[in-house]
């Protein structure tokens, strides 16, 4: 079966810029989280590969009796360590899964606000509240995804590799921005539903990611 190519970045930007309700803020939150996830995958993969290479070089140097080379490789291997290499593998694989979730949620968000607009046209306040509660599902899920990504980015950053710092920091800030924005959408939707437990839940997620919602 022939795979249908997805839209280009320029096409996505044109869709966002169009004077239509969707795609909007929620989809953009998802795409930002997906970019953060991709950067984490790349950075964790580099750390994983370099750590494994250093372990292999150390073992080879020791076998050849090359003391200076072994010491240099040993210093590099200790930077990550065997457990650290395993953790980078786990982070890379988890970021891959979160990237898939983020892109799926971004796509789902395209249709999530339509029922709200329909309820608002009906003039039924109860229907509007119900529609807003349902529309909060997607940005709430995105808040959780982005908060987890922020934690993973901080772990990659903590490896202390100068060559990965820029990418890890970018991933962290993208994840935090996505988390804050998605949480804000949840709070906006739930303004008329103060007892909804998701209002408190997003605050906890924001604390984990290192941000606050403005709504």
Q: Is residue 5 part of a domain?
A: no
CATH number of the domain within which 89 lies: 1.20.120.680
Whether residue 18 is contained in a domain is answered as no
What is the span of the domain harbouring residue 139?
Answer: 24-209
Domain annotation covers residue 11: no
Each of the 215 residues of the chain gets a pLDDT tens digit; together they read: 556 577 888 998 999 999 988 899 999 999 999 999 999 999 999 988 876 565 555 555 555 555 555 455 455 555 555 667 889 999 999 999 999 999 999 999 988 888 888 998 998 889 989 999 999 999 999 999 999 999 999 999 988 788 889 999 999 999 999 999 999 999 999 998 999 999 999 999 999 898 655 55
Q: Per the structure block, which two tokens stand in for 149?
A: 């990504």
Tell whether 94 is covered by a domain: yes
Distance between CA atoms of 44 and 174, rounded to whole angstroms? 16
170 is a domain residue: yes
Compute the distance between CA of residue 95 and CA of residue 34 in angstroms, rounded to an integer. 9
Task: Residue 81: name the closest of 45, 46, 55 by CA.
Answer: 55
- Asked whether residue 8 is assigned to any structural domain, the reply reads no
Omega before 167 cis (within 30°)? no
Report residue 5: phi and psi, to 5°.
Answer: -65, 145
Confidence (pLDDT) at 95? 98
Q: Give domain status of residue 109, yes or no.
A: yes
pTM (2 decimals)? 0.82
Q: Which two tokens stand for residue 106?
A: 């971004």
**172 within a domain of the structure (yes/no):** yes
Reply yes or no: is the peptide bond before residue 10 cis, omega within 30 of 0. no
Dist. CA 2–CA 46, nearest whole Å: 32
Q: Tell me how crowded residue 27 is: count the other CB atoms within 10 A of its CB.
A: 23
Name the token pair of 151: 């934690």
Instruction: Please tell me the total count of domains within the chain.
Output: 1
**Cα 99 vs. chain centroid, distance in angstroms?**
7
Q: Could you report the per-residue pLDDT of 83-113, keeping only the tens digit for each?
A: 678 899 999 999 999 999 999 999 999 888 8
């Amino acid at each position: 079966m022939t795979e249908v190519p997805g839209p280009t970045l320029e096409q996505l930007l044109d869709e966002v810029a169009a004077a239509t309700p969707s795609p909007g803020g929620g989809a953009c939150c998802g795409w930002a989280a997906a970019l953060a996830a991709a950067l984490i995958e790349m950075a964790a993969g580099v750390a994983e590969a370099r750590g494994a290479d250093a372990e292999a070089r150390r073992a080879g140097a020791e076998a050849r009796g090359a003391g200076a080379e072994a010491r240099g490789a040993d210093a590099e291997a200790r930077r990550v360590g065997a457990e650290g290499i395993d953790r980078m593998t786990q982070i890379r694989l988890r970021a891959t899964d979160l990237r898939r979730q983020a892109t799926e949620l971004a796509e789902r968000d395209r249709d999530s606000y339509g029922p709200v607009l329909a309820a608002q046209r009906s003039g039924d306040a109860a229907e509007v509240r119900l529609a807003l509660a349902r529309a909060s599902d997607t940005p709430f899920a995105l808040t959780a995804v982005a908060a987890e990504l922020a934690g993973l980015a901080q772990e990659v950053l903590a490896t202390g590799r100068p060559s990965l710092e820029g990418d890890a920091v970018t991933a962290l800030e993208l994840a935090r921005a996505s988390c804050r924005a998605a949480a804000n959408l949840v709070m906006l939707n739930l303004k008329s539903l103060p007892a909804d437990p998701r209002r408190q839940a997003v605050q906890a997620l924001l604390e984990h990611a290192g941000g606050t919602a403005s709504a």
